[in-house]
Amino acid sequence: MSKYISISFPGRLALQQRVIPAYRTSFINLLAKSCKKGLTVFAGQPLPIEGIGLADQLDSAEITNTKNHHFHDPQSSLYLCWQQGVIDWLKSQDPDALIVEANPRYLSTRNAIRWIKSRNRPVLGWGLGAPRGGNPVEQFFRLTFLRSLDGVIAYSQRGANEYRSLGLGNVFVANNAVTPRPKQQPPERPLTQKDKSTVLFIGRLQKRKRIDILVQGCASLPKALQPHLIIVGDGPESTKLRTLAVEIYPTTKFVGAKHGPELAPYFAEADLFALPGTGGLAVQEAMSHGLPVLVAQGDGTQDDLVRKENGWQVSPGDQNAFTSALHDALSDIKKLREMGNNSYRIVTEEINLETMVGSFVEALNAIRHKV
């Protein structure tokens, strides 16, 4: 167990997931170490069109691979999923508590909830939130599903508020994290303005990332403020973005895909990390390197991470708002450095893998005394 996690769950925990993305590996391994009788995980495969990189292995948890039966595209409002063998898994593992994805579209999960509750053991949901929407039938099934849980863990405060607005009790927050608490101090950056600032993007080059907004934003700045722009990553939009950059911002530097320690020199060189579209697992890593961040508003997880003291959030797809925030960021280097220090403090003290796992364990221990 991490020295930063002082509590543990005394029993054996079961975790149901549709898939296990590679970025969840560290979280699951750390959660397993916080469960005295171990962690068992149940998950299947995504559809090829999703492009999800899966965890290669779990060092500390046991995984049962299942067959996911997908109905429609996961992006469709009609999507449903059935996971084969969930009851057999629970019978063989006999867990003391269960955490499931709080998604009513995973139909087999209802059977898992009934099985665990028939044995008077707690079940928690884990989800983004419950935004209003859908027709009355969808709303009814969503609420019925959520009410069948003993509690729910939200990725963010916004998500927690959405669950509470439905009248749900036992709502917990575990701020979404993908990186551990930083072990080293961020690199020293000068307080005086160098020749040009450096703006960094790291991520897959795909349409939803809206990297075109970043390139256009840099090109629209006054000449004196135009930064070095470094784009790290590869993907289906690579050719289109390179063509755009040649046309409007030819100094843009594309360095291809980099991973792990390869990213360190790019973080060290940067003055600002920018994420103009959705997703963005690199935001927390950028903050751990002492960088302020400029991001598009997302599902609520960014709300807790990116604040006025360490960055900017703008409306998704709003070119003018993004360019204005970029102008603001690069106009005051001293303020930028202060915001970078605040980023480092946030991921050191508040939002990291250790605190996320600690929140899960606290939720488990709170709920097991109420069942």
Confidence of residue 45 (pLDDT cuts 50, 70, 90): very high
Residue 197 has a pLDDT of: 95
Q: List pLDDT tens digits, range 357-366.
A: 999 999 999 9
Spell 210-219 as b/e; 16+ CB within 10 A means b: bbbbbbbbbb
Mean local confidence (pLDDT), 284-309 = 90
- Domain 13-178+352-368 superfamily per CATH: Glycogen Phosphorylase B; (3.40.50.2000)
Model pLDDT, residue 69: 97
Span 325-340, pLDDT tens digits: 999 999 999 999 999 9
* pLDDT digits 0-9 by tens, 187-234: 889 887 778 999 999 998 989 899 999 999 999 999 999 999 999 999
For residue 144, CA distances in Å to 11, 121, 167 come to 28, 19, 12
CB 102 within 8 A of CB 125: yes
The tokens for 334 are 């001293």
Q: What is the mean pLDDT of residues 48-54?
A: 83
pLDDT at 3: 46
Q: Quote the pLDDT of residue 190.
A: 86
Instruction: Residue 221: count other Cβ atoms within 10 Å of its Cβ.
Output: 16
Determine the pLDDT at residue 185: 92
Instruction: Give the pLDDT band (50/70/90) at residue 300.
Output: low
Mean per-residue pLDDT for 84-109? 97
Sequence ranges of the chain with CATH classification 3.40.50.2000: 13-178+352-368, 198-349
Tally the residues of the chain.
371
Q: What is the pLDDT of residue 238?
A: 95
**pTM, 2 dp:** 0.90
- Summarize pLDDT for 232-265 with one digit per residue, the tens: 999 999 999 999 999 999 999 999 999 889 999 9
| CATH architecture, domain 198-349 | 3-Layer(aba) Sandwich (3.40)
Residue 201's SS3 state is: strand
3-state secondary structure of 197: coil
Q: What is the mean pLDDT of residues 16-21?
A: 96
Question: So what's the pLDDT on residue 299?
Answer: 64
